Amino acid sequence: MKKYITVFVLVIISLGLNAQSGNQDDKQGEYSIIAALIDKNWTGAGILMGKEATFIMDWQRVLGNKFIKLEFQNKRKSGDNEYIVFKATAFYKMVNDTMVVGNWFDNRGMTFPLKGSINENELAILWGNEETEMGKTIYHHKKDNNEIIVEDFVKKNGKYSNFGSATYYVKE
């Protein structure tokens, strides 16, 4: 009987701790770059694979504020002056106020894991794995003029190479 009571007490304590951490999850990142990104439509311009490109990103809290959803698009001209449009959706889960994990889905049919670190002005995301492709994306918030600078890198032969960069502003 003591064994059942101990298990019951541990379950109740665990549920209580999970409920408390669930409430904290809703507020993680409120004073970081995450707060700057969320609930704004960002539009940008930059270079992607050596070509001028336009970019759109929209960050929203979803599913009871348990996740952050990124809707992303870039558009650039190909060598034959046709437009190439790339679209993706990512879902992020705040682990704590300095760490995020998630998953990426794009119109190439690719999906891969995301893991990142957060501080007040920067979000650094490592993406992919050995079975897909690997790289990193760094978002830097410049508070003085409310812009986001994004740099994208792909990892090949153990080295990161920059393949894109953009400057975003809030779309009015």
pLDDT tens readout for residues 63-115: 999 999 999 999 998 888 899 999 999 999 999 989 999 999 999 999 999 99
Q: Which segments of the chain does DSSP mark as H helices, in order?
A: 2-25, 33-37
User: What mean pLDDT do residues 19-45 have?
Assistant: 70
CA–CA separation, 138 and 135 (whole Å):
10
pLDDT band at 141, cuts 50/70/90? Answer: very high
DSSP character at residue 25: H
Question: Where along the chain do its domains lie?
Answer: 2-170
pLDDT digits (tens, 9 = 90+) for 142-156: 988 899 999 999 999
With 0-12 CB in 10 A as exposed, 13-18 as middle and 19+ as buried, what is 122?
middle
Q: What class is the 2-170 domain?
A: mainly beta
User: What mean pLDDT do residues 119-130 have?
Assistant: 95
